[in-house]
Structure formats: C-alpha cells, structure tokens
C-alpha cells in the first residue's frame, strides 16, 4: 500500500470532510410560499434535513435571507450542511412546482452551550437497549448492562459509560457469546470488553453507547467532530439523572472507547466522576495518521476503511447488529421477524458521512481547523476530573506518541499514568489491572476495591493469555473509603514507568513487567539530553570528528518488508515476527562502544542530521536499538520524517523533542546539492541499556520496523541520501538519559522476551555501524 495508497488516507482519521458546504452568502433567497414537509434540525456547527421526497435542490438560508448553502438530498431523503456559524434564524427551502417550501426557523448550536438540567431529567433508561435523544435531536443507541446477577430493584448502582464506534450497543451478552463459541450478530464487539463485560462483572452498571452515525445510532459519522464530542457531555448527564445510578458516573474503555473519553471529559460534564482511558492517541495527524508527515497506509488506512463501512446504512451495509435489527429485530425482546423501527429510522443520515478520499486529497498537511477539534491531546487541557491512563510506547495501532500530550494534564492534580513497552492490548496487563480496578472503585463507585476471584482468575486468563498473576487490591481489607482513597493517592506515583514487560518468570514474553520507576513529571525531571556524535565507520559517540566526511545510502523501501509481522497477531508471548537487518547500501547504522554502566532513557529522542538528497523530498526512518553482548539486537523505538515537513514548532521543540509543524505553509523542498539540517523526532520510550550493551541508531527508507504500520512513501528506490559526519556539520543522536538511574539489578532480558520489541542477530550496516 505504498505511494498513491496514501491518497485513500485517513480522511477519516480526520473524518470530517473539510469541503465546506456552507459558503459565503451571495444571493437573496426566494420567499417561502408553503410549509415544508421535511424535517430540519440544528446541530453544533451543522444543520441536517430528513424526509425530503424531492430531488430538487435544498437551499440553506441565513437570518439575513441569503442563500449560504445548496445541495440535494441523498437516496434516503437526507442532507447535512456543515461548518455553519452558531446562531438563530436559519431555514431550509426548496423550489418545487412553482412553489417554495420552507422549514420553520431553527438555531445552529454553539459548542459549550449546554442544555438545562431538565433536558436530562426527562430521559429514562431501562435495562437493555434504549434510544436517547441528544441536544440536536439525533438518537443514540444505548444499552444498559446491570451488574452480574442484579435487577433494577437492587439499585442504585455505581455506573460507567463506554462510548465507541465499534459494535458497542448491541444488546446481547458478550460473555455468553464468548462461552458459547458461536457468533452472535447481536453481541457487542470484543473490542468493548472493558465496558460490556468487565464492568458488570466488577459490580458496575455499564452503559454501552453507540457513536453517532454507526450501528443503530442516528446522525452522520464524523470521527470526533464536535457533535460527537458533545454527545459525550449529554450521555454523562443523562446517565447521572437516572434513579438507579449511584452518584456521578465514570467512563471506561480501551482504544476507540479510550480516546472518546478524552473528548467527553474535556467538555466538563458536571456529573462525570472520573475517566480511565487505555491505549489512546493524542493527535489523529501527527501520532497515528501521518507519522512524520508520511501517511500510515497500513493500520490507519484499514481502520478508517472499516469505520466508513460500519457507517453505511443498514441493512445493505453497516454493522452486523444494525443489519439484524433492521431486518429481523431482536428475538429476545420482540416477536420473530419484527424489525426495530428506531434502528431503521436512525439510518437516514448515515449516507451523509464524510468522503474520506476528498478530505485527504485536499489535506495532505496538518490543516489546523480540521485537526484542532479532533485532537484528543488538546481536549486533555480541559479535563478536571481524576484520570487513570495507561498505554504502551510501541503500540502497533494507535502508536506511542501519546506521552507528548501528558503535559496538558499538568493543571489536574488527580492524574495517574502508567506506561510500558508492549502492544495495544497490554493496557489491560496484570500490573495495571488491579490499580485500574482500585481507581474506578475509589473514584467512581466510592467504595473499597475488591478484585473478584472470577475476574482475576478464569476470566482474566481467558482474555489476557499467559501473564503475571492478578493481585488482590492492597486496600481490600480496609473499611474507610476516604482513607483508602488517600492511601491510593500516596501509593501510586503520577507517572508509573513499568520496565521490561515480558521478561518475567511467567513465560517468555508473557505479560508483566519485572521492575518499575516512579516520577512526578514526564519526562522525568532528572532527564538530561545526551548527545552522541555520528562518526566515521559507523561509530556512535565519542569526540566529534574534526574533519568532515560523509556516508551515503539509497532510500529503497523495497529493500525492507512492509512490516515485521510475518503472520498471526502481535498479542501472543512469542508472535511470528521477522525484523529484517539493514540491506547493503540501503541504510546506515551507527553503534556506540559498550556502555560501562546501565544507561536508562525516558522520553522522546532526536536524530539531528545534516543531509542532502538527490531528490527534492525524501522520507526518513530512524530506529534506536540495543546491541547486546550475546550478538543479538533488540528493537527499542522508531521515528519518521518527510524531509519537506522539517520546519519545527519552536515553542514546542526541545533538544530531545523536535516537533514539526506539518503545516502546508511551512513545507519546504530539500535544496539542490546542499546540506540541510533535518531533525527526526523519535517517539517517546523508556528503556534500560544494560552494562556491556551498545546503543545503535539506523537510518533507512521507511518500513519493516513496525508490525502493523505501513507507509505511503515518496521514495521509489532511486533516492540517494548523503549524511554529513563531523566538521562544521556534525550529525548527532540526542537521547533523554535519566541521570543516576540503572536497571535496579535486574538481568538483561532474554532476546525475544520484551513485548513489542523484536530481536534480530546484529549485522553491521554497509558503513560499519
């Protein structure tokens, strides 16, 4: 999926299609002669029309009676206008048969102008599938799942919400589906296991909310657009208003439903108690969609394609449960073959989901107005409730860029972040699982946390596979909840850095860290930039060579596999990975001498190159690894950069953390036959290089170092890149070395032990490093 595959881009990563449909007012609108039969609603920055029975153009008219938008309804009789200024006095009109049919005047809603409490008090949720109207009239499907073995009469219950675009609100029981071994189209996706299964088993009522524009929810899919974000506010306040809900509610979930929490919490719902996001991204462009400005044509493209398919109207398309309910209904709640009319009606706006291809073609750079409202990291600035966040540096799906956003939580004192090496699902690892249970019990349920034997035993084992044992809560024997909460706040650091996940005695590569570090900040305050000069014959470190020299390589993406995953999944303790060495003359490597003491890094890194290229643009991949005394080489972390995206945001950049703007106005082609300084940002990581090991950095074309990321690269195997060594243009690797830190006496892990850190036999690159 190289090259033009990138055009199929994560428009959905931005899924908001930024082709403006509401244009500047240019023409006076025709006078209304008849009341329209179609329905019109104002949303946040949008307006949507339903039940249009004519192919004639719809005219969007502002309060000054000027036409500001035009368009025809789709095959389901719907039309959505985007990018409207908030305010009143809008109407939609349509000429037909010499008459002008007009809607009543309506208001386009403003972000943050939230409904009164009475709007939520009038809504009632019952056990099972519900349809709940949001502030803009769109219905969302919400399924209430009670604690295991409980009925409504046993309430009130502590309650959590899981909000996702995956198959979330499907009303059947996920555990029954798993135990039966049969596929149930009306069961939620396993990706929603945190809310749909673990929540009820831990004694919480769980509300599974289907994201707008997907499944049986109404509206048009727009990935993290403002209407979706403020659905988060509305669902929290609706849940908290229920008589069977105890106190304020929390939010839980991993991946999609982890990211959605950051948006919802950023809207500051008054009745949100806490959030516990797992495996998140911080920016849809920089972190996941366009690492270094290069389109992620692997996971990002496939993920967004799936979301677009999910958003298609059922029963012809869409999610399995929507197809089933729009065709046959749910035999558990209705007579056979009785379709769910709510689900049918809610498909009307699904065709108005945005065209991802058009968006990407027009936005290959980071378009601020497109990405600003869709950046989870920016919404984190506004989160005031307690946060328990977990994630992995080598996450093969959302990526390991999320630590870059943690500074946005500095104003919130109740934050606990756990990070480690590992894959996407390792956020549910045994070292975080018990603290997560403690957090949601203490900060949402307001009760003493206890880990049920069923959850810590058979259930966890079936979900996680081989791992360290899940421990009982250290607070299980206490009776005073405030005292337990105070103990939690004291016992767990703000940043808990788990080390060597996979290297424990529970099996080679089994989940579980063997040691950890604590910090009150990220990166830790004791981190100091340490510069390693790139030297002759592939040497890394030491004195800067006085005389200038150079090394060359051909940027040939075909010289590397697309990914390092041969087959299967990355989740098992020993996945089928092949981390290929640098091919002859297709990359360069620089390797230090053996370190005399442990070297611990914690934070992002920077590879600062003076480079010239035979082409006006080229893509770089920089990878840090550990060359071990036994001749093996262990992957640590990577970074990427398209050379034309090299302009840095000076306010955000530092010695260890170059931060490209990725703005179109800052794009610059490489100069002809001249050296140019290029700083390649390498994603954050913590890692301990053991005494006797060597630190290595390689530079090559993109690809082959990640398990599910592929890249739509510019390079075709003919680009020749030249790196300056020493003299007036010294190239350097800058690492975030944690002063005074060591591996706490733990041994060097076995070669294939560390999760998401593949191993290969060390082979020198053509330049000797």
Q: Angle at Cα 382 formed by Cα 379 and Cα 385, nearest 5°? A: 115
Written as one string, the DSSP assignment of 394-457 is T-SSS-S-GGGGGGGGTT-SSEEEEEES--GGGGG-HHHHHHHHHHHIIIII-S-----HHIII
Q: How far is CA 682 from CA 586, 624, 639, 655, 710, in A?
A: 20, 8, 4, 12, 17
How far, in Å, CA of 589 to CA of 432, rounded?
36
How far, in Å, CA of 359 to CA of 362, rounded?
5
Which tokens hold the place of 638?
Answer: 């990577």
Q: Angle at Cα 60 formed by Cα 56 and Cα 64, nearest 5°? A: 135
Whole-prediction pTM: 0.95
pLDDT surpassing 70 at residue 180:
yes
How far, in Å, CA of 239 to CA of 259, rounded?
20
How far, in Å, CA of 687 to CA of 420, rounded?
9
pLDDT surpassing 60 at residue 11:
no
The larger pLDDT score, comparing residue 516 to residue 9, is at: 516
Which tokens hold the place of 745?
Answer: 């006496």
**Kind plus residue range of the DSSP H or E element containing 722:** strand 719-725
In sequence order, the 6+-apart residues with CB closer than 8 A to the CB of 744 are 515
pLDDT surpassing 80 at residue 448:
yes
Q: Angle at Cα 456 formed by Cα 455 and Cα 459, nearest 5°? A: 50
DSSP-based three-state secondary structure for 223 = coil
**Ramachandran category for residue 192: left, alpha or beta (phi over 0 → left; psi -120 to 50 → alpha):** alpha
pLDDT, tens digit, for every residue of 517-564? 999 999 999 999 999 999 999 999 998 888 999 999 999 999 999 999
Helix ranges (H only) for 252-313 are: 256-266, 299-310
| CB burial string 519-539: b at 16+ within 10 A, e below | beebbbeebebbbbbbbbebb
**Residues paired with residue 92 on neighbouring β-strands, in sequence order:** 60
Mean pLDDT of 569-576: 95
pLDDT, tens digit, for every residue of 46-74? 999 999 998 889 999 999 999 999 999 99
pLDDT, tens digit, for every residue of 351-371? 999 876 667 667 889 998 888
Which tokens hold the place of 112?
Answer: 């943050």
pLDDT, tens digit, for every residue of 481-490? 999 999 999 9
How far, in Å, CA of 271 to CA of 158, rounded?
13
How far, in Å, CA of 238 to CA of 119, rounded?
8
pLDDT surpassing 50 at residue 15:
no
Mean confidence (pLDDT) of the chain: 94
Q: How many CA atoms lie within 13 A of 667 on its CB side?
A: 16
Question: Which residue, among 299, 44, 321, 350, has the nearest Cα to 208 in the 3D structure?
Answer: 321
Question: Contact, 256 vs 164, CB < 8 A?
Answer: yes
Question: Contact, 294 vs 366, CB < 8 A?
Answer: no
What confidence category does residue 333 fall into, taking pLDDT thresholds of 50, 70 and 90? confident
pLDDT surpassing 50 at residue 181:
yes
For residue 10, what pLDDT is reported? 34
How far, in Å, CA of 579 to CA of 560, rounded?
9
**Kind plus residue range of the DSSP H or E element containing 389:** strand 387-392
Count other C-beta atoms under 10 Å from residue 415's C-beta. Answer: 18
Question: Contact, 504 vs 516, CB < 8 A?
Answer: no
Written as one string, the DSSP assignment of 24-45 is EEEEEPPPP-EE-SSEEEEEBT
**Kind plus residue range of the DSSP H or E element containing 306:** helix 299-310
Q: How many CA atoms lie within 13 A of 380 on its CB side?
A: 25
Mean pLDDT of 697-721: 97
For residue 462, what pLDDT is reported? 85
Question: Contact, 24 vs 70, CB < 8 A?
Answer: no
The larger pLDDT score, comparing residue 464 to residue 110, is at: 110
Burial of 97 (0-12, 13-18, 19+ CB in 10 A): exposed
Range of weakest confidence among 242-251, 329-338, 515-524, 625-634 = 329-338
Q: How many CA atoms lie within 13 A of 549 on its CB side?
A: 13
How far, in Å, CA of 43 to CA of 411, rounded?
31
Q: How many CA atoms lie within 13 A of 646 on its CB side?
A: 22
Q: Angle at Cα 553 formed by Cα 548 and Cα 554, nearest 5°? A: 150
Which tokens hold the place of 324?
Answer: 């089933």
Mean pLDDT of 640-662: 98
For residue 539, what pLDDT is reported? 97
What residue has token string 């088993």?
201
Which 8-state DSSP code applies to residue 157? B
What confidence category does residue 736 fall into, taking pLDDT thresholds of 50, 70 and 90? very high
């Amino acid at each position: 999926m190289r090259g033009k595959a990138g055009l199929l881009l994560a428009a959905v990563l931005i899924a908001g299609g930024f082709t403006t449909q509401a244009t500047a007012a240019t023409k006076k609108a025709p006078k209304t002669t008849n009341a329209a039969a179609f329905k019109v609603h104002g949303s946040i920055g949008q307006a949507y029309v339903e039940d249009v029975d004519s192919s004639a153009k719809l005219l969007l008219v502002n309060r000054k009676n000027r036409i500001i938008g035009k368009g025809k309804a789709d095959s389901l009789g719907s039309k959505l206008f985007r990018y409207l200024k908030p305010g009143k006095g809008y109407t939609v009109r349509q000429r037909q048969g010499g008459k002008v049919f007009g809607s009543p005047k309506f208001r386009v809603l403003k972000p943050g102008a939230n409904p009164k409490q009475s709007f939520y008090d009038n809504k009632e949720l019952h056990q099972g599938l519900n349809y709940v109207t949001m502030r803009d009239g769109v219905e969302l499907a919400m399924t209430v799942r009670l604690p295991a073995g409980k009925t409504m009469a046993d309430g009130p219950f502590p309650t959590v919400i899981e909000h996702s675009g995956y198959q979330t609100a499907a009303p059947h029981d996920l555990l029954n589906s798993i135990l039966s071994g049969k596929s149930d189209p009306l069961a939620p996706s396993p990706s929603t296991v945190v809310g749909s299964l673990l929540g009820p088993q831990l004694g919480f009522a769980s509300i599974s909310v289907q994201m707008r524009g997907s499944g049986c929810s109404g509206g048009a899919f727009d990935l993290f657009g403002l209407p979706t974000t403020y659905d988060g506010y509305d669902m929290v306040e609706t849940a908290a208003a229920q008589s069977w809900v105890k106190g304020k509610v929390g939010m839980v979930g991993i991946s999609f439903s982890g990211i959605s929490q950051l948006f919802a919490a950023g809207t500051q719902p008054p009745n949100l108690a806490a959030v516990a996001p797992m495996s998140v991204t911080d920016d849809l462009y920089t972190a996941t969609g366009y690492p270094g400005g290069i389109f992620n044509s692997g996971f990002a493209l496939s993920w967004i394609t799936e979301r677009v398919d999910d958003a298609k109207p059922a029963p012809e398309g869409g999610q399995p449960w929507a197809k089933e309910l729009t065709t046959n209904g749910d035999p558990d709640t209705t007579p056979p073959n009785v379709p769910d009319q709510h689900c049918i009606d809610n498909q009307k706006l699904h065709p108005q989901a945005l065209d991802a291809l058009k968006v990407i073609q027009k936005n290959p750079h980071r378009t601020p107005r497109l990405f600003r409202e869709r950046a989870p990291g920016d919404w984190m600035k506004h989160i005031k409730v307690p946060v328990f966040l977990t994630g992995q540096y080598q996450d093969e799906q959302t990526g390991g860029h999320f630590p870059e956003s943690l500074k946005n939580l500095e104003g919130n004192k109740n934050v606990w972040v756990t990070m480690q090496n590992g894959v996407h699902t390792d956020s549910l690892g045994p070292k975080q699982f018990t603290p997560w249970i403690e957090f949601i019990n203490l900060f949402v349920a307001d009760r003493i946390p206890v880990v049920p034997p069923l959850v810590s035993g058979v259930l966890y084992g079936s979900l996680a596979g081989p791992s360290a044992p899940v421990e009982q809560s250290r607070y299980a024997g206490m009776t005073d909840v405030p005292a337990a909460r105070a103990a939690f706040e004291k016992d767990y650091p703000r940043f808990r850095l788990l080390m060597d996940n996979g290297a424990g005695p529970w099996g080679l590569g089994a989940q579980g860290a063997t040691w950890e570090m604590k910090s009150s900040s990220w990166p830790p305050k004791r981190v100091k930039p340490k510069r390693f000069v790139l030297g002759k014959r592939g040497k890394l470190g030491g004195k800067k060579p006085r005389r200038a020299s150079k090394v060359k390589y051909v940027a040939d993406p075909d010289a590397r596999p697309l990914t390092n995953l041969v087959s299967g999944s990355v989740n098992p303790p020993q996945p089928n990975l092949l981390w290929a060495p640098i091919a002859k003359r297709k990359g360069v490597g620089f390797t230090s001498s053996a370190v005399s003491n442990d070297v611990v890094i914690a934070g992002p890194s920077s590879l600062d190159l003076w480079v010239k290229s035979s082409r006006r643009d080229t893509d770089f991949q920089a990878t840090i690894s550990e060359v071990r005394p036994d001749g093996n080489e262990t992957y640590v972390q990577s970074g990427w950069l398209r050379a034309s995206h090299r302009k840095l945001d000076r306010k955000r950049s530092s010695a260890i953390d170059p931060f490209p703007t990725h703005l179109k106005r800052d794009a610059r082609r490489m100069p002809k036959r001249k050296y140019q300084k290029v700083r390649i940002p390498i994603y954050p990581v913590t890692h301990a290089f053991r005494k006797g090991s060597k630190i290595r950095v390689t530079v090559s074309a993109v690809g082959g170092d990640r398990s599910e990321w592929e890249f739509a690269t510019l390079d075709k195997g003919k680009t020749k890149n030249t790196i300056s060594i020493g003299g007036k243009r010294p190239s350097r690797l800058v690492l975030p070395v944690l002063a005074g830190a060591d591996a706490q006496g733990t041994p060097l892990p076995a070669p294939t032990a560390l999760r998401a850190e593949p191993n290969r036999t060390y082979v020198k690159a053509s330049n000797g490093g």
